[in-house]
Amino acid sequence: MSRLTTPAIRRRSADISSTLQRTALPEVLKKIYAGRGISDPADLTLTLDQLLPPATLKGIGEAAELLADAMEGEARVLVVGDFDADGATSCAMAVSVLRQMGLKEVAYLVPNRFEFGYGLTPEIVELAAAQMPDLIVTVDNGISSIEGVSAAQALGMSVLVTDHHLPAETLPTADVIVNPNQPGCRFPSKSLAGVGVIFYVLSALRAELKQRDWFTAQGLEMPNLGDALDLVALGTVADVVPLDRNNRILVAAGLARIRSGRARPGIEALFEVAGKDHRLATASDLGFIVGPRLNAAGRLDDMSVGIECLLADSTASARAKAENLHALNRERRDIEQSMQTEALAQLDALNLDQPDLPFAMTLYDPNWHQGVIGILASRIRERVYRPTLIFADSDEGMLKASGRSIPGLHLRDALDQVAARHPGLLTKFGGHAMAAGLTLAKSDFGPFCEAINTVVADALDHAPPEPVAMSDGSLAPSDLTVPFAEQLEAGGPWGQHFAEPVFDNTFAVRRHRIVGEKHLKLTLESGGVEVDAIAFNIDVDEWLAAPLTQLGALYRLDINDYRGARSPQLVIEAFWPH
């Protein structure tokens, strides 16, 4: 983090509705909610009985019947997952719940990122065929697996696709597709993560099996799907899908389960190896503490390591697997830091101050690790505020890229336009508005850079994007307390499209020191109140050369829990001279 010379901060401003105004909420929270589009206090009720019913999810009834028929026919079911946290939680849920429901033969297969790539490809179908499944269930993938689904059906396998990614014009010929984003689906929330979709499918299956008197006939207790909400919360937050009301209900319920000590051993173990108390879990912890450790398996090794951690049924087994994931995450951080240093050197060569900087940033190095390019894309995007695609070597003569975008630029749509304007340039692509991936021939890297830059420039009307930090205003010195920080946290869960509250104030710097080599620890004062603060990953040389005595800061109000003592702490996102 560098200090800002000209802070581009925009304070959220929205009228507070009369019904919201009449609530007993603190005035600050009313403003925060209004700024996030909340006008009806009922939208703040996040109980499970407020979840959207599954009936309008296109294909969900047929999916429940297909699965129920498979169970009654003692079919072999194979769950095919994805190698990220959403895919891992989806896979663990499908396998564990189907087993609870009495399915005797259920296994899973998750593609290795480096050998097979993403989704139900023909190569994965060939691998799956060795297990002779009767039914393949995809989780968090499949909507773009046209060739793979056809290959599976040609071998006599039925295919149920459960996914949430945006579909192309042509859909696979699966027996059933459940995806809120498929054409003709009337489900109001289009923001379900993959784990949310399979949660709904399993809920419908339970209802179908109950109607068939399956549980009584099998002598089984009907499973409580609330037991799986810890997985739903983790996968939803880690996949950075928009937290609309339905997703906030799911995440809130999952967090409540984790805090109360009812999470599965694998999730509690991931908190433990990170040195975090699961009883104080927040949505942010799922995104920045637990999710990265789970994702490390898919980035550097094989996501089955993470899935087995989530499936562990004992504390000892879960702890050993979580330790492995923790070690992988440390290795991932080291690799990422090395790649970031090399990427920054490329940026320095570009001269970031030049007026004709590319609208789309595309970087490649033959030594970069394919499993870490997505994280690097996020880091570089934050630095240059441009849609960023990071490339790494894939198969011989091929490159893979992972991209991250900025608000206002739909990255998958941009790739779609590149593909339309330059047929054959992209071997494959897919993703979301803010994150996408692609594969192309190494010889086509230069033409692609020109093509994506043209498409992005057109989409942005040839006006260089300017980063704007959103603020919820200033806090009074009397608000810089643990009780108010707890009230803010309880007002969530916060996340994508329901942003955690961020404030801006001016402070006097009373004390400062460098910790952990690159973090700035401060004691700040406002209105006679002193409060601790921390700014991560600062430019240490810049600070030591001219430390500030007064500063403006954009910050989150957090709680520092040290040896059982809780105190308010500001987590500074940006600061500037004042």
Residues sharing a CB contact under 8 Å with residue 311, sequence separation 6 or more, in sequence order? 92, 95, 96, 266
Q: What percent of the chain is modeled with pLDDT above 70?
A: 98
Do 445 and 391 meet the contact criterion of CB atoms below 8 Å apart? yes
- Contact criterion met (CB below 8 Å) for 311 and 96: yes
The structure tokens 């909420």 sit at 25
- Collect all residues with Cβ–Cβ distance below 8 Å to 320 and sequence separation of at least 6: none
Give CATH for domain 55-326.
Answer: 3.90.1640.30
Instruction: Please say whether the beta carbons of 459 and 414 come within 8 A.
Output: yes
- Domain 9-36+469-577 and domain 351-459, same fold? Reply is no
DSSP-based helix, strand, coil % in the chain, nearest 5: 45, 20, 35
Query: Region 182-201: what's the mean pLDDT?
Result: 97
Structure token digits, residue 556: 């989150």
Q: Which CATH class is domain 351-459?
A: alpha beta
Per-residue pLDDT reduced to its tens digit, 132-144: 999 999 999 999 9
pLDDT band, very low/low/confident/very high, at 428 (cuts 50, 70, 90): confident
Q: What is the mean pLDDT of residues 252-276?
A: 97
3-state SS, residue 67: helix
DSSP assignment of 97-108 equals HHHHTT-SSEEE
Which position has the higher pLDDT, 395 or 212?
Answer: 212
Q: How far apart are CA 578 and CA 573, in angstroms?
A: 16
> What is the rounded distance in angstroms from the CA atom of residue 533 to the CA atom of residue 535?
7
Judge whether residue 111 has pLDDT over 90. no
* 514 pLDDT above the threshold of 80: yes
- The pLDDT score that the predictor gives to residue 30 is 96
Angle between helices 304-311 and 265-273 (to 10 degrees): 110
Q: Are the CB atoms for 444 and 417 separated by under 8 Å?
A: no
What is the structure's pLDDT at 178?
A: 98
pLDDT higher than 50, residue 225? yes
pLDDT at residue number 353: 63
Sheet holding 77-80, edge to edge: 106-109, 77-80, 135-139, 158-162, 176-178
- What is the distance between the alpha carbons of residues 16 and 27, in angstroms, rounded to a whole number? 10
Q: How far apart are CA 366 and CA 564, in angstroms?
A: 47
pLDDT band at 103 (very low <50, low <70, confident <90, very high): very high
* CA angle (541, 543, 544) in 5-degree steps: 65
Burial of 147 (0-12, 13-18, 19+ CB in 10 A): middle
Does 2 score more than 80 pLDDT?
A: no
Q: How confident is the model at residue 373 (pLDDT cuts 50, 70, 90)?
A: very high
pTM for the model: 0.90
| Bridge-based pairing state of the strands 550-562 and 565-577 | antiparallel
- Pairing outcome for strands 361-364 and 428-431: unpaired
The answer to whether 148 touches 141, Cβ cutoff 8 Å, is: no
Is residue 6 pLDDT above 70, yes or no?
A: no
Instruction: Indicate whether 341 pLDDT > 80.
Output: yes
Reported confidence tier of residue 529, pLDDT bands at 50, 70, 90: very high
Contact criterion met (CB below 8 Å) for 126 and 111: no
Angle at 152 between CA 150 and CA 153, to 5 degrees: 65
Report the pLDDT value the prediction gives residue 354, as an integer from 0 to 100: 67
Amino acid (1-letter code) at residue 59:
G
pLDDT bracket for residue 4 (50, 70, 90): very low
User: Nearest-5° angle of CA 288, CA 290, CA 291?
Assistant: 70
Q: Strand 529-535 vs strand 565-577: parallel, antiparallel, or unpaired?
A: parallel
Q: What is the DSSP string of 486-534?
A: HHHHHT---BTTBPPP-EEEEEEEEEEEEETTTEEEEEEEETTEEEEEE
Report the distance separating Cα 37 and Cα 18, nearest Å.
14
- Model pLDDT, residue 350: 77
Whole-number Cα distances in Å, 30 to 9, 41, 46: 21, 10, 17
- C-alpha 546/C-alpha 2 separation (Å) is 12
Confidence of residue 98 (pLDDT cuts 50, 70, 90): very high
* pLDDT tens for each residue of 194-203: 999 999 999 9
Least confident of 52-66, 93-107, 534-548: 534-548
Architecture of domain 9-36+469-577: Beta Barrel (2.40)
Residue in 48, 70, 61, 49 with CA at minimum distance from that of residue 201? 61
Cα angle: 149, vertex 154, 157; to 5 degrees: 70
| Statement: residue 5 has pLDDT above 50 | no
The domain spans of the chain are 9-36+469-577, 55-326, 351-459
Question: How large is the average pLDDT for residues 457-470?
Answer: 89
Give me the DSSP letters along 3-55: --SS--EEE---PPPHHHHTSSS-HHHHHHHHHTT---GGGG---GGGSPPGG
Residue 359 confidence class, pLDDT cut points 50, 70, 90: very high
Q: Which residues pair with 133 in a beta bridge?
A: none
7 has pLDDT over 60: no
Tell me the per-residue pLDDT of 200-224, one tens digit each, with 9 for 90 and over: 999 999 999 999 999 999 999 999 9
- Alpha-carbon gap, residue 119 to 140, rounded angstroms: 9
Query: Mind listing the pLDDT tens digit for each residue in 45-63?
Result: 999 999 999 999 999 999 9
Token duo for residue 376: 């690097």
